[in-house]
């Protein structure tokens, strides 16, 4: 037992001496400058390598975008052709105008009988036209049956007869603004070749007014 104790003491003393020697070596040992420089460089290099970020792969190139074709110019819309003006028909003539007044013929009839005992002169025929006259002015105006006449295809002129079909256009008709005068107006013409072709309705609105006229389009023409 005494021997074991002595052995343990000796072992402890040996360990202590070894530790003391190691401490002395660490404290008092100084490497030569070249070795110290090499150790420092290796330590710095190790830190730099550890701190350097890993290379990040660059973005992969995407497929090139296809060029969008430029829009084609849309042709400018063409203007529709102007419609052919439709004649301002009253019935068998166009309306004719003078100083705020409007006159037209809506119907026409050829014949030898206009009612009553009236008959055309020898070799002549009656022509009756239905006249509509409108006052589109701002004041009271008058229409006179004697202001109308017919010119036939041969150039003969037919004026107002004393008698006419009923209801007849008054000899003088006075109307307010917007008022209308209308009725049958009758003349007679020689019934010969050319009489019934190319008829013209003529209106003399007044002494200081220009004579107005328009063609009569007969049914069937």
**Total length of the chain:** 221
Mean pLDDT of 187-213: 91
Could you say which DSSP state residue 216 is in?
-
Question: What is the sign, positive or negative, of the torsion defined by CA atoms of 118, 123, 129, 135?
Answer: negative
Dist CA 184 CA 110 (whole Å): 12
Q: Which residues of 159-170 are buried (b: 16+ CB within 10 A; e: fewer)?
A: ebbeebbeebbe
Which helix (DSSP H) or strand (DSSP E) does residue 42 occupy? Answer: helix 33-51
φ, ψ for residue 34, nearest 5 deg:
-65, -45
pLDDT per residue as tens digits for the range 119-164:
999 999 999 999 999 999 999 999 999 999 999 988 999 999 988 8
Tell me if the bond preceding 167 is cis, omega within 30° of 0. Answer: yes
In sequence order, the β-bridge partners of residue 57 are none
pLDDT per residue as tens digits for the range 95-111:
999 999 999 999 999 99
Domains of the chain: which residue ranges? 96-215
What CATH code would you report for 96-215? 2.60.40.1240
**pLDDT interval class at 9 (50, 70, 90):** confident
Task: Please state the pTM of the whole predicted model.
Answer: 0.61
Mean pLDDT of 194-218: 92
């Amino acid at each position: 037992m005494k021997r074991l104790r002595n052995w343990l003491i000796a072992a402890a003393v040996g360990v202590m001496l070894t530790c003391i020697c190691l401490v002395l070596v660490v404290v008092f040992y100084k490497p030569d400058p070249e070795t110290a420089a090499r150790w420092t460089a290796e330590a710095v290099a190790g830190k730099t390598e550890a701190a350097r970020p890993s290379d990040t792969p660059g973005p992969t190139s995407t497929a090139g975008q296809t060029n969008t074709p430029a829009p084609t110019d849309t042709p400018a819309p063409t203007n529709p052709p102007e419609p052919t003006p439709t004649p301002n028909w009253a019935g068998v003539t166009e309306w004719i105008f003078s100083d705020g007044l409007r006159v037209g013929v809506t119907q026409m009839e050829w014949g030898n009988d206009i009612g009553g005992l009236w008959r055309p002169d020898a070799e002549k025929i009656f022509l009756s036209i239905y006249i509509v006259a409108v006052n589109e002015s701002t004041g009271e105006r008058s229409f006179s049956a004697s202001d109308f006449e017919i010119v036939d295809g041969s150039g003969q002129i037919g004026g107002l007869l004393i008698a006419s079909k009923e209801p007849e256009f008054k000899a003088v008709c006075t109307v307010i603004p917007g008022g209308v005068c209308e009725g049958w107006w009758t003349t007679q013409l020689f019934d010969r070749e050319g009489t019934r072709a190319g008829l013209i309705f003529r209106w003399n609105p007044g002494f200081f007014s220009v004579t107005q006229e328009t063609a009569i389009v007969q049914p069937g023409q």
